[in-house]
């Protein structure tokens, strides 16, 4: 098979990111043969052993294909949803398995391991698998990171479904999330009385360490 025919087949099958198995099937040759052919093709790059991509693919789409299932979350998801102008220093990907960070085309992709039952709340887009706004908020609260960006999203209320947000918070089965979520929502004037029963009995940090306490939601925070 000619190189041009191979690229035509990738386009026909909508395979911008593909495995060595996909390539071997298209060529009708052994994986060893195909691996050698791919290494000579200028517009094909390797993500990791056995996984390749076309060099015009968006980095976000590559990031969510390294591990399956996985999705982009935290501030990277806020950025892709157009909710922050801050360009993330790295792309954060949530997955059920541990994977070392990788660098592709001067972009660093980091992987954050969650339990399998916490892998939900994401959707496919042209930019890859991305957390919904609500799941990106919940993931941030779970890891207690990017709290400033979370508050900015809540303040602007840009497309946030608050019923889904509380549903996702409870689905994570983490008292610490509920404490932070209750504190966050009440801070912006939302009634979240139904969350109280799911609170952790222990105090948790909300953002960085602080000397102030929200007794109702058992969080410590800084002003």
Cα angle 178-180-185, degrees, rounded to a multiple of 5: 90
Q: Structural domain boundaries of the chain?
A: 3-57, 60-221
More confident residue, 158 or 33: 33
Count Cβ neighbours within 10 Å for each residue of 46-67 and write b for 16 or more, e otherwise.
ebeeebbbbeebebbbbbbbbb
- pLDDT tens per residue, range 196-205: 999 999 999 9
pLDDT digits (tens, 9 = 90+) for 20-56: 999 999 999 999 999 999 999 989 999 888 999 998 8
- To which H or E segment does residue 162 belong? helix 162-171
Counting beta carbons within 10 angstroms of the beta carbon of residue 139, is it exposed (0 to 12), middle (13 to 18) or buried (19 or more)? buried
pTM of the model: 0.90
The β-bridge partners of 115 are none
pLDDT band at residue 157 using 50, 70 and 90 as cut-offs: confident
**Is pLDDT larger for residue 191 or for residue 131?**
131
Question: Which CATH class for the 3-57 domain?
Answer: mainly alpha
Mean pLDDT of 148-164: 89
Sign, CA torsion 12/42/53/21: positive
- Mean of per-residue pLDDT scores for the chain: 93
């Amino acid at each position: 098979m000619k190189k041009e025919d191979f690229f035509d087949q990738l386009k026909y099958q909508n395979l911008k990111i593909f495995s060595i198995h996909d390539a071997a099937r298209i060529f009708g040759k052994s994986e060893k043969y195909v691996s050698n052919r791919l290494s000579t093709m200028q517009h094909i790059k390797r993500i990791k052993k056995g996984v390749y991509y076309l060099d015009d693919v968006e980095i976000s789409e590559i990031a969510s294909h390294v591990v399956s299932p996985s999705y982009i979350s935290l501030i990277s998801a806020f950025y892709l949803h157009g909710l922050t102008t801050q360009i993330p220093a790295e792309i954060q990907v949530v997955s059920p398995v541990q994977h070392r960070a990788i660098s592709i085309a001067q972009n660093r992709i980091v992987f954050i391991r969650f339990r399998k039952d916490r892998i939900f709340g994401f959707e496919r887009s042209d930019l890859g698998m991305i957390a919904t706004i609500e799941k990106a908020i919940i993931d941030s609260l779970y890891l207690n990171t990017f709290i400033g960006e979370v508050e900015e999203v809540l303040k602007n209320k840009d497309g946030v479904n608050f019923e889904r947000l509380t549903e996702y918070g409870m689905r994570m089965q983490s008292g610490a999330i509920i404490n932070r979520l209750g504190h966050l929502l009440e801070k912006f004037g939302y009634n979240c009385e139904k969350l109280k029963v799911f609170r952790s009995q222990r105090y948790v940090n909300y953002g960085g360490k602080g000397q102030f306490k929200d007794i109702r939601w058992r969080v410590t925070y800084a002003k």
